């Protein structure tokens, strides 16, 4: 099983109301980091993934989803 969930993407990932990322986090009941942002592009998403890895040190037990 997974120890943490990390989600990255645009407004489909993080918005004013719950998204697919929030539903997955709710179902899994493990620490959840939603790094989505409305209007963000692919280059910014890839930068956030790198920054998050440097900060949180991804492991094989992490679920990482990019939308």
Alpha-carbon span 57 to 42, nearest angstrom: 21
Alpha-carbon span 61 to 45, nearest angstrom: 21
Q: First-to-last CA distance in the chain? A: 21
pTM for this prediction = 0.93
pLDDT at 5: 97
Yes or no: say if 22 and 48 are a contact pair by the CB < 8 Å rule: no
Residue 19 to residues 2, 12, 27, 41: CA-CA distances in angstroms? Answer: 20, 6, 13, 18
Residue-wise pLDDT tens digits, 6-39? 999 999 999 999 999 999 999 999 999 999 999 9
């Amino acid at each position: 099983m997974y120890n943490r969930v990390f989600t990255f993407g645009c407004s489909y990932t993080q918005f004013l109301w719950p998204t697919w990322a929030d539903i997955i986090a709710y179902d899994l009941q493990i620490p959840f980091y939603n790094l989505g942002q409305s209007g963000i592009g692919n280059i910014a998403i890839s930068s956030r993934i790198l920054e998050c890895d440097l900060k949180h040190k991804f492991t094989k037990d992490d679920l990482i989803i990019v939308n």
